[in-house]
Amino acid sequence: MNASELPNSDHLNIAALSALFVHTTNSYKYLFFWSLLDILARQNFHKSLSISFREIIIEMLANAWYPHNYFKLSFGSQDKIADKLDTLALKVGEPILKFRDPDKKLLRTTIGEQDLEDIVNYITRYVPFRLLMPFMRKQLKGIDIDHGVDREMPKVAQRYFDICKPLYCFDSTVKQECRGIILHSEWVSYLKENYAIVRGWVCWEWLKYMQKCNPNVPAVANKLFPPQKRDSLSSQTKYWKLVLQHSEVRCIYSGTILTPNNISLDHYLPWSYVAHDRLWNLVPTLPEINSSKSNKLPNPRYFHKFVWQQHQGLSISYKIMGLPQWLKQIESYLMDLKISNSLDLLEIDRLRSAYESTILPLTEIAARQGFEDWI
């Protein structure tokens, strides 16, 4: 979505809203405005809503937690949000890790129990004041951007609150005494009426920024927001159980012979890195081993066993499935491994070469991002 597609208004400066993220070099403005939207939606867009800096920062940290801690994404070389998250001793439980916290309630509570004074002071030193620049540019003309804008913004925003209608003003006209914002009621009404469109615009701008910060990372779009629910692996499990019924299959990590009644499917490259459940990246293992591996990277020692097991699965399924069903099953292999002839999947050397050119570079990138090596 382009900024020009934001719904127009006869009374509000939509051009200023669309300019919020122009020349942005870090994540703070995106996270700040996105978090405001989340808080507004949760509070049913109450017109007299005032929001403390601390509440906004907690929401920002919660929104940044999944991309940073779970998916290992970079927020940019100049950005400090990841460092701030790393200073928090968060005890994150299974509901959060298993995406059973869709409203981020548990995550916000966990973050809110921390000493956040340093982080609140750091982020609110500039961000809330600079975010209003597009609304107040004319009124701040002649004031030095680097040194005077932040000091003058609380006074200017309050003075022109009913005239220029900025997104919000502050709870004090003295910067050092500001502890929160007061949203303009007309903007609250606009955001309520156009919430889906505005949030879609923010998400699109956030995606473009994060793709620029993570140019070699797959599926960035699937890693910015926690999924409300992980997809079922029922069809993939059915495939491997069928293979197990017709061949002896051993766990590539432990060497244990697997049975159809006691398997768990492991994402060889962690789901939190690839963000998909395609069959070419799934292997059967014991439930306890899958739990132990979690979202870690398998040590390279397992690579050849992984390829051999994939070849075993492809060969057995080719023999016992009808050709149309088998071709439908292997679509992701052909597309993602860049193999044009389906029968090449049955040639172990060709399959290994395709995996080497696909998985090994992804593994190196994931390791540089901080995914832990696992044996």
pLDDT along the chain (375 residues), means of 10: 71 94 91 94 82 96 92 89 88 78 86 92 93 91 74 94 95 94 94 86 91 90 75 90 95 95 93 85 95 92 97 96 92 88 95 92 84 92
Tokens 């009808």 correspond to what residue?
A: 322
Where helices occur in the chain by DSSP H, the ranges are 14-18, 28-42, 53-65, 81-86, 94-97, 105-112, 117-123, 127-130, 133-136, 149-159, 185-193, 195-213, 234-244, 271-274, 287-293, 303-320, 323-329, 331-336, 348-369
3-state secondary structure 99-135: CCCCCCHHHHHHHHCCCCHHHHHHHCCCHHHHCCHHH
CB proximity list for 226: less than 8 A, separation 6 or greater: 66, 70, 99, 101, 102, 104
Instruction: Give the SS3 label for residue 338.
Output: coil
- The pLDDT value given to residue 145: 65
What is the rounded distance in angstroms from the CA atom of residue 258 to the CA atom of residue 239? 14
Question: What value does the CA radius of gyration of the chain take, rounded to a whole number of Å?
Answer: 25
The DSSP bridge pattern shows strands 282-285 and 297-298 to be: unpaired
**Which of 158, 183, 144, 154 is CA-nearest to residue 35?**
183
Per the DSSP assignment, residues forming a β-bridge with 170 are: 181
- The pLDDT value given to residue 1: 47
Predicted TM-score of the model (pTM)? 0.73
CB proximity list for 144: less than 8 A, separation 6 or greater: none
- The pLDDT value given to residue 272: 77
Give the rounded distance of the alpha carbon of 350 from its chain centre. Answer: 34
| Total number of residues shown for the chain | 375
